[in-house]
Structure 1
Amino acid sequence: MWTRSFLILHGVENRRPSDHWQHILAQRLREGGEQVFYPQLPDPDRPALGAWTEAIEAESAMMRGERIVVCHSLACTAWLHLAAARGGAPPADRLLLVAPPGPSAFSWEAIAPFSAASLDPAGLRLSEATPRLVCSDDDPYCPEGADEVFGRPLGCDVDTLAGAGHLAVPDGYGAWPAVHTWCIDPATRLTAG
């Protein structure tokens, strides 16, 4: 019987490369005997919100024990839509949102339907525990500041990293030990990779 399980969700144009922190995280958790779901979401280059939320729901249904979800980039707003569709039933016990795209990013036609602008943040129950948001102060996909756009309205605990970009491989986020530590101990503050 699993006491906890992890769901790791990637962003747009991400085909789960082996040098990305999410891939490394999935591998480390599995090596530690954890149950990990790290799906390739449908059509990552031209994602459809309905297809992504359906795939995420299917993966979530297989989780057992404490449900811990780690979202990066576009998966963050997909998770918001999933939570809105569920109403009051939170789809996770613990949640980590990493570098969600801000309002200006949704001018890109390929991801426009994922915009969270129509959602009421006060009405969203994202997880049983207070969600954690980790973002950068210079994310080109959220120049508005994820702490202001998402952190405060969603009631997240926020860790803002200086000069960390989009918290992806080009920004130096291959191995990121702090995320693994948070997965095991939710009291951990997220620090630079």
Structure 2
Amino acid sequence: MSDPSKTFLILHGYQNRRPPEHWQHWLARQLRARGHDVRYPQLPAPEAPVLGDWLDALDEHGTRPARGEFVVLAHSLSVLLWLRAGARRPAADRVLLVAPPSPPVTAGIPEIAAFADGLDLAETGLDARLVHGDGDPYCPDGADLHYGLPLGLDMDLVPGGKHLNPDSGYGEWPSLLEWCEDPSVRIEGR
């Protein structure tokens, strides 16, 4: 097999068993069809995730490839995983943080509260783009207020996008695929 030009690491969220109707599943298929290396691991115990186990999975699957661009896409709870990883984060060329739950919402769900515990948004130097939908029930005040502005992130707001998951109508997502190929593309709704 020839060297892929890009390697993508796709990280899912809470209670996600990588269903075929999710945009992540669709995106993984599309990227593989274009000849890219795609890592789309099932993270341990998604119904009762343990932060340490998810950090270990990030260590396992986040090894930077020897060649080519390395791109990370994290959705929902995996955004908090990425933020909590700190020095354990793999060196990525591009990072897309999609629809993170707010710290108060996360703290209010016992199964995932540890992901919000000790979350430090004063971190500097995080280079990523945030994509979020308005009306997200898991981030009712807006991901821009909780993450985008405090971290100084580049942001794309998807009007009516809610949590940017299958329940919000996000299976196929063409502009996201375009961004994977070209980082100058602004991510829009489907």
Normalising by structure 1, report the TM-score.
0.90
- Deviation of residue 103 (structure 1)? 2.0
Verify the 8 A CA contact 2:64 2:90 in the aligned structure 1: no
Q: Provide the C-alpha distance between the structure 2 equivalents of 1:120 and 1:73, rounded to a whole number of angstroms.
A: 17
SS at match of 1:8: strand
Verify the 8 A CA contact 1:103 1:144 in the aligned structure 2: no
Q: Deviations over 1:127-162 (max 9, x none)?
A: xxx311110111000012101110111121111112
SS at match of 1:123: coil
Find the partner of 1:77 among 63, 76, 80: 80
Is 1:179 equivalent to 2:176 in the alignment? yes
- Letter of the 2:102 partner, please give it: G
Q: How does 1:158-169 map to 2 (within 5 A)?
A: 158-169=155-166
- Deviation of residue 39 (structure 1)? 0.2
SS at match of 2:35: coil
- Letter of the 1:26 partner, please give it: A
Verify the 8 A CA contact 2:4 2:35 in the aligned structure 1: no
Q: Provide the C-alpha distance between the structure 2 equivalents of 1:68 and 1:179, rounded to a whole number of angstroms.
A: 13
Q: Provide the C-alpha distance between the structure 1 equivalents of 2:90 and 2:166, rounded to a whole number of angstroms.
A: 30
Q: What's 2:153 paired with?
A: 156
- Letter of the 2:80 partner, please give it: T
Q: Provide the C-alpha distance between the structure 1 equivalents of 2:55 and 2:6, rounded to a whole number of angstroms.
A: 22
Is 1:134 equivalent to 2:131 in the alignment? yes
| Identity, % of aligned positions | 48
Q: What's 1:13 paired with?
A: 15
Give 5+ residue unaligned stretches, structure 2: none
- Deviation of residue 124 (structure 1)? 4.6
Q: What's 1:99 paired with?
A: 99
- Letter of the 1:145 partner, please give it: G
Verify the 8 A CA contact 1:131 1:155 in the aligned structure 2: no
Give 5+ residue unaligned stretches, structure 1: none
- Deviation of residue 125 (structure 1)? 4.1
SS at match of 2:52: helix
Q: Are residues 186 and 174 of structure 1, via their aligned partners in 2, closer, same or farther at CA, if it must alter by over 3 Å?
A: same
Q: What's 1:192 paired with?
A: 189
Q: Are residues 90 and 36 of structure 1, via their aligned partners in 2, closer, same or farther at CA, if it must alter by over 3 Å?
A: closer
Q: What's 1:45 paired with?
A: 47
SS at match of 1:61: coil
Q: How many residues align?
A: 186
Verify the 8 A CA contact 1:80 1:124 in the aligned structure 2: no
